[in-house]
């Protein structure tokens, strides 16, 4: 495992269209292994990793001190259906969600709200990727 990433999570990160300087929103970050790997790959970009679980955010914060100190990663405890950009926060280029009930069809009502929140959080060209493809599938938000 690279940096604590399972082969499945590594395949997901590898499949993301990451570029230097990008802003990435990870939804349902758990202990933050994927967020740290994404932060490593986007250089001076920024990852905001969110999770509804306080325990997950605590674990991610403890494991991500270097990335947080470098300003490349931040964490927020919030469910995607409650997520909003902070007043001075820039929009995100891509969002990724792995095993998030609001986005994988398990919770359709929360999903409708979550997709509206994501449209507001992403740039006009912003892209959303979720697990369930090979290894990812893209959900088209715009158009």
User: Beta 136-139 vs 122-131: how paired, if at all?
Assistant: antiparallel
- Please give the CATH architecture assigned to the domain spanning 7-139: 3-Layer(aba) Sandwich (3.40)
Per-residue pLDDT at 80 exceeds 90: yes
pTM over 0.85: yes
DSSP string computed for 98-124:
SS-TTTTTSSHHHHHHHHHHHHHHEEE
Each residue's pLDDT tens digit, 37-73: 999 999 999 999 999 999 999 999 999 999 999 999 9
């Amino acid at each position: 495992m690279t940096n604590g990433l399972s082969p499945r999570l590594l395949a997901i990160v590898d499949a993301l269209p990451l570029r230097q300087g990008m802003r990435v929103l990870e939804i349902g970050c758990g202990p933050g292994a994927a967020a740290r790997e994404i932060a490593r790959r986007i250089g001076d970009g920024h990852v905001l990793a969110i999770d509804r679980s306080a325990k997950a955010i605590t674990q991610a914060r403890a494991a991500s001190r270097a990335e947080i100190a470098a300003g490349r990663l931040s964490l927020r405890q919030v469910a995607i259906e409650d997520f909003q950009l902070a007043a001075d926060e820039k929009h995100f280029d891509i969002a990724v969600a792995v095993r998030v009930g609001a986005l994988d069809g398990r919770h359709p009502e929360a999903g409708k709200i979550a997709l509206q929140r994501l449209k507001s959080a992403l740039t006009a060209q912003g892209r959303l990727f979720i697990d369930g493809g090979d290894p990812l599938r893209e959900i088209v938000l715009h158009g």
